[in-house]
């Protein structure tokens, strides 16, 4: 077991794995004597991100700082992140970004000619127009929660199979949630969605590599492997449907 994962009472155990500091429990991270930067820094160099220190930075400022740092410097962001602090705060961060994005998507769908679908009985217009976007917004808390747990579980399973799991599930879960910072890019017109997807995958790869201290290729396979499996499965199912329709 990695020495970073042995500390549950806030103690510090030394230099840790591969040049990384130990990752103690939440008792080691309080607001006194840990530096003045955006992250709270303990004597071993670990840092709580601003989002998990909202009482100090304020809600909006903490959200902005965390998103900026996850986007611009994911290596440093995850390199100094503790991994025995709990799942609630990272999940809340992903939920806020995801629900806000779904809400803005619904508002966007209300503009222009899509307003016609409000009074259109065609089911295709119903699901493509504002009502479909509204349903996506209402269901976004559940869909986002399922998404981050599923992605974290698949990535962590792949890491375990590849021998790259240096820390526990929480480390991988934190990568899966804070990589949602890339979702703000999806608000850009035209190519925002595809850029956000690529950026999120890049954050996932860098995050797993830095937080677990594993090899880059293991982190890459752990992130891209499940994605390729899902795409292949969808393609196979679509091919079966097309073949079935052709036989009829």
Q: How does pLDDT run across 116-173, given as a tens digit for each residue?
A: 444 455 555 555 567 777 787 788 899 999 999 999 999 999 999 998 888 889 999 9
Per-residue pLDDT band at 246 (split at 50, 70, 90)? low
C-beta neighbour count of 19 within 10 angstroms: 8
With a threshold of 0.85, does the pTM exceed it?
Answer: no
The pair of structure tokens assigned to 194 is: 């595809």
CA distance 7 to 1: 11
> Over the chain, what is the mean pLDDT?
77
Number of domains in the chain: 1
Helices (H) and strands (E) in the chain, counts: 9, 2
Stretch 217-240: mean pLDDT: 84
Q: 219 is in which domain, residue-wise?
A: 3-247
Per-residue pLDDT band at 247 (split at 50, 70, 90)? low
Amino acid 15: pLDDT: 30
For the stretch 148-160, what's the b/e string if a residue is b when 16 or more beta carbons lie within 10 angstroms of its beta carbon? bbebbebbbbbbe
């Amino acid at each position: 077991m990695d020495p970073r994962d042995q500390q549950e009472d806030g103690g510090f155990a030394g230099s840790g794995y591969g040049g990384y500091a130990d990752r103690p429990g939440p008792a080691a991270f309080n607001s006194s004597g840990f530096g003045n930067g955006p992250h709270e820094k303990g004597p071993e160099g670990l840092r709580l991100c601003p989002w998990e220190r909202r009482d100090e930075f304020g809600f909006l400022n903490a959200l902005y700082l965390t998103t900026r740092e996850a986007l611009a410097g994911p290596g440093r962001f995850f390199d100094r992140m503790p991994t025995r602090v709990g799942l609630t705060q990272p999940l809340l961060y992903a939920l806020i970004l995801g629900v806000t994005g779904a809400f803005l998507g619904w508002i966007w769908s209300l503009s222009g000619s899509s307003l016609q679908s409000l009074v259109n009985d065609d089911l295709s217009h119903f699901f493509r127009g504002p009502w479909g976007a509204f349903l996506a917004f209402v269901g976004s808390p559940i869909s986002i929660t399922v998404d981050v747990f599923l992605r974290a579980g698949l990535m962590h399973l792949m890491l375990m199979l590849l021998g790259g799991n240096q820390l526990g599930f929480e480390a991988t879960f934190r990568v899966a949630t804070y990589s949602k910072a890339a979702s703000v890019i999806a608000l850009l017109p035209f190519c925002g969605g595809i850029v956000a997807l690529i950026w999120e995958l890049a954050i996932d790869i860098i995050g797993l590599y830095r937080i677990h201290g594993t090899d880059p290729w293991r982190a890459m396979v752990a992130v891209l492997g499940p994605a390729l499996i899902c795409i292949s499965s969808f393609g196979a199912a679509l091919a079966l449907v097309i073949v079935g329709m052709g036989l009829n």
